[in-house]
Amino acid sequence: MKQRTFSQAEYSRKKRQTRRDRFLAEIERVTPWQALKDEIEPHYPKQNGPGHPPRGLETMLRMYIAQQCFGLSDEGIDDAIYDSMAIRNFVGIDLNVEDAPDATTLLKFRRLLEDKQLTKRVFATINNLLNMQGLILKEGTVVDATIISAPSATKNEDNARDPEMHQTKKGNDWHFGMKAHIGVDAHSGAVHTLETTPANTADISKGHSLLHGEERLVFADAGYQGIEKRTEEITNPNATWHVAMRPGKRKALGKKGGDQITRVFERLKSSVRACVEHPFHYIKNIFGLKKVRYKGLAKNTAQLYTLFALANLLITKKRRDVLNAQGAS
């Protein structure tokens, strides 16, 4: 165990914890660090011959996680380590002994994760752990999609927008960017499947590919109306779809007899579908992904796997705490 410096000791005795302190402490507590390191380590560069040895895997992984949690650029997280004791302690850097990894080192690590599709494997590893703990029941799935905006300006080196992003109209507004399509476990609210497309891709075209194949019930909003008639790429032919009624048709319902039963049924379906908004809340509001950070779908998809994996850990933390308490008693 490393000996604490005077500044670290003084920081640990401060009377008030900031929101950043509490947030990083929560990420520290819920993240299965060893499982993630075991997934990445076979692909991580080793020291071969002369030259500087690579930075420790755990240091780079923690730096990358901190970057994603606060929506920072490679240079931004490098500066934040020097500016913030909370982030420095989370990453595990003692500036009296070593410098923080620079932005180029983090860039190489991030590209390794993207090229080897390791963020997808990290996402799967976390979900497997949640499944082994009995938190993902797989009896029901909720599907939905959200638009993530991309820069629409053409004042760049290519004088063009990102060719892998497209525009679409939602309501009366036009949006340029991509879509994240997710399948969410109806019991836990954890994301089990992710697909990404340009923003102009219809939600219904990805509906079947968001199922894991074991669910009996699938819930979706009105954008998936008619999916029962689409027979291409059916993942689970035994699943029963419960798709919301279109808003105009639902508004026209009366308040008596059979119409009242339909209204109650629609409210029940809405209450089940509500859990699909929680992962979107985490990636957009907690992790700050209001706009895509990289160019192209591949890099942004790799980032989304990381963010949804972290969101799954935070969404299920209360249930895991209860299970751990019951196991300890």
Q: How far is CA 2 from CA 28, 94, 95, 121, in A?
A: 18, 9, 13, 31
Evaluate whether residue 44 is within a structural domain: yes
Classify 226 in phi/psi space as left (phi over 0), alpha (psi -120 to 50) or beta: left
When comparing pLDDT for 64 and 322, which is higher? 64
SS3 (DSSP) at 46: coil
Q: Tell me whether residue 123 is in a domain.
A: no
* CA–CA separation, 28 and 18 (whole Å): 15
Judge if 111 and 148 occupy the same domain: no
122: nearest Cα among 57, 33, 27: 33
Do 222 and 243 touch, CB atoms closer than 8 A?
yes
249 band by pLDDT with thresholds 50, 70 and 90: confident
65 and 26 within one domain? yes
- Residue 51: per-residue pLDDT: 56
What is the pLDDT confidence band of residue 324, given thresholds at 50, 70 and 90? confident
Residue 143 in domain: yes
Domain around 258? 139-302
Structure confidence at residue 49 as a pLDDT band (50, 70, 90): low
Per-residue pLDDT averaged across 197-218, rounded? Answer: 95
Mark whether 172 and 105 lie in a shared domain: no
Distance CA 228, CA 241 (A): 7
Is 29 inside any structural domain? Answer: yes
Report the C-alpha gap between 235 and 279 in whole angstroms.
23
**pLDDT tens digits along 79-94:** 999 999 999 999 999 8
Backbone angles phi, psi at 161, to 5 degrees: -75, 165
- Does 312 reside within a domain? no
Confirm whether 77 is domain-assigned: yes
Residues 111 and 146 in one domain: no
The Cα 323–Cα 279 span in angstroms is 22
- Residue 304's pLDDT band (boundaries 50, 70, 90)? very high
Among 181, 120, 113, CA closest to 147 = 181
pTM for the predicted model, two decimal places: 0.91
Q: Which one, of 161, 152, 211, lies nearest residue 181 by Cα?
A: 211
144 and 107 belong to one structural domain: no
Residue 156 sits in the same domain as residue 107: no
> Residue 10 — pLDDT band, cuts 50, 70, 90?
low
pLDDT score for 1? 41
Residues 32, 111 share a domain: yes
Number of domains making up the chain? 2
219 occurs within a structural domain: yes
98 shares its domain with 180: no
Q: For 17-34, give the secondary structure using H, E and C.
A: CCHHHHHHHHHHHHCCHH
Q: What is the pLDDT of residues 119-149, one digit of tens each?
A: 999 999 999 999 999 999 899 999 999 999 9
Residues 112 and 149 occupy one common structural domain: no
Judge if 296 and 185 occupy the same domain: yes
Domain match, 296 and 152 both = yes
Does residue 177 sit within a domain? yes
Do both 157 and 60 map to the same domain?
Answer: no
